[in-house]
Every structure is written in structure tokens, then in C-alpha cells.
Amino acid sequence: MAARDGALTIYHFGNAIEGIRKSLPRCPAVNASVDHDILRDASKTFRKAFPNYEAIRHVTGHVSDFTATPDRRREHSHIGELEVGNISFDDSPRQFTGNLYNRSYVVSYKGRAYHYEISLDNAHVLYLVKLRVFSSLMVKPSR
């Protein structure tokens, strides 16, 4: 359950960053005081660390939809070999519905597997991205 909650938290984190970026142009007074380079860097760092966070959340939030029928299960099963951490899977089709293998939370969606690792490194990335986002929103001194 904690890994599932982590997937949802990562998704909400990413959406918050995107929401800030998309909303700023609608508020010129705030937008003018934002350091957009820092905000852009925070967004890039987040996306590099969690490139598939949207697909992971989609499966996490819709497991019952993707497992309701044999056809849906086949549609969302991973096809091909897979290595997650030190665990290898052969090329047999298999559906991952939010399984935890060692410290990796794994889902499959439309024939591909996606995962994120539960680690101090990833927690640290989230912490640093949060600091960058907050610091980018600090009011720039007037010149």
C-alpha cells in the first residue's frame, strides 16, 4: 500500500509542478517575480527521475478497469523480457498491477512495464525538486 501511495504522491507532485507552470502566465504580477530558469530546471529534474509517472499512476488508479476481462488483461500485459533490480522475467506475457519487487513498484500498461524505485535517492530528488520549485517562486528583488 505504501508503494501504491508513493505512485500517487509522485503523480500529484508532478501535476503540481505542471499546474504552477501553466497557471503563471494568467497571473502577470506573480509571473514577473518567478525565476523561470529554476522552475524549468526543477521540472526537468523531476521528469528525468520519474519519466513514466503518469502511466504508473494511470494503472494504479484503474487496476479494476484493466483486469476486468481477459481481453483487458491481455491488452495491459507486458510482453517481452524484463529486468527490475536483480529480478528477471522471461518473455511470457504478464500483467503487473502494482506489484512490489524488492524496492521497485511495477505496473504494466498497453504492453509495456513501468516502474519506480522506492529509495532514499528518489526521496532526495523529490526533496530537491520541491526546494527548487519553492525557491523559484520567491519574489525577485526589484532592480
Q: Letter for the amino acid at 31?
A: N
List the beta strands (DSSP E) in 28-103. 82-84, 87-89, 97-101
Coil, helix or strand at residue 38: helix
Q: What are phi and psi of 97, to 5 degrees?
A: -115, 30
Please tell me the distance from the alpha carbon of residue 15 to that of residue 109, in angstroms, as a whole number: 20
User: How many angstroms separate the CA atoms of 11 and 116, rounded?
Assistant: 11
Predicted TM-score of the model (pTM): 0.86
- Per-residue pLDDT tens digits for 8-29: 999 999 999 999 999 999 999 8
73-126 pLDDT, tens per residue? 999 999 999 998 889 999 899 999 999 999 999 999 999 999 999 999 999 999
Q: What span, in angstroms and rounded, lies between the C-alpha atoms of 57 and 115? A: 10
Give the pLDDT confidence score for residue 2 in this predicted structure: 85
Of 113, 79, 84, which is closest to residue 97 (Cα–Cα)? 113
Take residue 118 and report the three cell numbers written for it: 522506492
Interatomic CA distance for residues 42 and 14, integer angstroms? 10
Phi, psi for 117 (deg, rounded to 5): -100, 135
